[in-house]
Chain A
Amino acid sequence: MSISTIRDGLAANLATITGLRTSPDLPDNPSPPIAVVALNSVTYDQAFQQGLVIYSFTITVIVGRVSERTAQTKLNAYASTGVGGIKHAIQSDKTLGGTAFDVRLQEMTSLGAITLGEQQYLAAEFSAVVYSD
């Protein structure tokens, strides 16, 4: 399966969160909130005849400037499991538009400030695993 297609599927699921943008790369001057989907690893040959490949993605969500009062509130919503959360959105279409067998958001792996350009932003990283062929 095309990795670009899988990434597009993940981005489409993330876009179900109202107001959350998606980008293929970390922008120098982001306009938060924005989610960036990056391929982390590919594990081939998990079944005979390429029947299963496991893709691991890191989803970085830039919530807002560290100084923003609402940044922490937004982060709480993104980290929650219900509607409006990254987990709920990523798993909203578990076939990623028909390109995957299944997708699961496994964990929020880190949380903190990142510097982009001259600004510090509050960001969180999530790991997602996609089962496809």
Chain B
Amino acid sequence: MAKFAATDFDISIDGTDFSDSLAAVTLDISRESLDTTSFGKSARTFIAGLESSTVTFSFHQDFAADGVDETIFGALGTLVPVIIKPQSGSVSATNPTYTFSVLVTQSVPFSSNVGDLATMDVSYPVSGDVVRAVAV
């Protein structure tokens, strides 16, 4: 895979494929930085701390049974599994999966101006590690 347009992201949330209901996704995998600077140093030094990641979803809102609203509202306060890969094809070295759990901390069922496409933007903390895999 080379440079590509992000049109085929494959996104599963709590076992349901929500790819075609999502306009954007951001997975930010971060490690805390612990300051180890001591006297006598001329520049700050750091070591890596705990992983602290977040994921942001921009949904097209849908109130159908098992749709966006019902799934997210029903998962409030719980951990749900998320799997994201760049393309809908098989997992491979160029189509890796990122697997993790998120704590569903919010639902925003209504967030639109009159006449706009109904959307729902939410951001969740990742609970535990993010696992990157290149094979099933």
| Interface assignment of B9: CB less than 8 Å from any CB of chain A | yes
A48–B117 touching, CB < 8 Å = no
Distance of A14 Cα from B102 Cα, bound (Å): 47
- Number of A-B residue pairs at CB separation under 8 A: 42
Chain B neighbourhood of A48, CB < 8 A: 6-11, 19-20, 22-23, 25
Interface string of A49-84 (1 = CB under 8 A from B): 111100000000000000000000000000000000
A51–B60 touching, CB < 8 Å = yes
A131 (CB) vs chain B CBs: closest residue: B117
Q: Give the interface centre of B5, B6, B21, B25 by most chain A CB atoms within 10 Å.
A: B21
Q: Indicate which residue in A51, A106, A131 contacts B22 across the interface (CB closer than 8 Å).
A: A51
5 A-B pairs with least C-beta separation: A51-B20, A48-B19, A49-B19, A48-B9, A45-B7
Distance of A106 Cα from B25 Cα, bound (Å): 29
Residues of B at the A interface (CB closer than 8 Å) are 5-11, 19-23, 25, 60, 88, 115, 117
| Interface assignment of A41: CB less than 8 Å from any CB of chain B | no
| Interface assignment of A93: CB less than 8 Å from any CB of chain B | no
Distance of A50 Cα from B8 Cα, bound (Å): 8
A104 and B115 in contact (CB under 8 A), knowing A47-B60, A48-B8, A49-B8? Answer: yes
Nearest CB of chain B from residue A51's CB, rounded to whole Å? 3
Known: A46-B60, A49-B19. 9 other contacts (CB 8 A): A45-B5, A45-B7, A48-B6, A48-B9, A49-B20, A51-B21, A52-B23, A52-B60, A104-B115
Q: Indicate which residue in B5, B9, B23, B88 contacts A46 across the interface (CB closer than 8 Å).
A: B23
